[in-house]
């Protein structure tokens, strides 16, 4: 499985989002467009402007995002992205069952891949809890799972990275790493341990989560490690 570096773009306008995506395109394999940061959402111009595979996310406040409206309004642009052939859409594992059902129905036989994501911005649960979350993602029909937690020490980091072994046994593509200073290394290590993808900021100071490296920094580190 080919590893992927995803640049997360969180801008307030479509024009700014496109500019940031173009800036990151040379170093990123996937570009995440955080729709919850946009003041006005417009999917077609973003897809038309960017050749790099796009991932659309409309993160609600209850999962650390910016969207605070009705669930049907939050879901609508994700469904539009599927209909227009986006590479990926991200839906939170804790989303209402109807949202998951509607999005999966929209996916149908499309080539768009569904990421079911789960974030804990306060801590890293125990192994049993993490495994239950991983299993739920597969059971609910995700093409790819995403588990991201806040690390307080290296024990948390190792517990989250170990999920890659479980995911490989399940034959289930998984994104897993930790936020926070102790978790920085996991954003790199996950690529060497079978992780499907890691996330970076477009540039320095543009992180969308604690401990996020820039695309350029991550590429430089990988170049040093691999010679």
Angle of helix 127-139 relative to helix 154-161, nearest 10 degrees, comes to 30
146 a catalytic residue? yes
DSSP 8-state class, residue 182: G
What's the CA gap between 210 and 75, in Å, rounded? 26
Spell out the residues 6+ positions from residue 186 whose beta carbon is closer than 8 angstroms to its own.
151, 157, 160, 161, 176, 177, 178
What's the CA gap between 197 and 191, in Å, rounded? 7
Q: What is the dihedral of CA 89, 95, 101, 105, to 10 degrees?
A: -10
Given 104, 140, 143, 146, the catalytic residue: 146
Given 104, 109, 119, 140, the catalytic residue: 119
Tokens of 220: 């430089």
118: helix, coil or strand? strand
119 a catalytic residue? yes
Instruction: Kindly list the catalytic residues.
Output: 119, 146
């Amino acid at each position: 499985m080919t590893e992927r570096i995803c640049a997360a773009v969180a801008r307030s306008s479509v024009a700014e989002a496109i500019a940031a995506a173009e800036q990151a395109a040379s170093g990123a394999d996937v570009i995440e467009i955080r729709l919850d940061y946009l003041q006005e959402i417009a999917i077609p111009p973003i897809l038309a402007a960017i050749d790099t595979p796009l991932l659309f996310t409309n993160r609600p406040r209850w999962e650390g995002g910016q969207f605070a409206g009705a669930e049907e309004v939050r879901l609508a642009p994700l469904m539009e992205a599927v209909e227009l052939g986006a590479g990926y859409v991200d839906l939170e594992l804790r989303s209402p069952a109807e949202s998951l059902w509607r999005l999966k129905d929209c996916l149908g036989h499309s080539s768009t891949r569904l990421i079911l994501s789960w974030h804990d911005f306060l801590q890293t649960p125990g192994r049993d809890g993490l495994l239950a979350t991983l299993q739920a993602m597969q059971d609910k029909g995700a093409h790819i799972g995403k588990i991201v937690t806040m690390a307080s020490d290296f024990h948390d980091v190792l517990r989250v990275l170990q999920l890659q072994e479980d995911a490989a046994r399940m034959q289930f593509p998984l994104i897993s790493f930790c936020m926070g200073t102790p978790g920085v290394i996991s954003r790199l290590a996950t690529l060497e341990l079978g992780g499907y993808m890691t996330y970076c900021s477009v540039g320095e100071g543009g992180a969308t989560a604690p401990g996020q490296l820039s695309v350029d920094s991550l590429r430089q580190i990988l170049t040093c490690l691999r010679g």
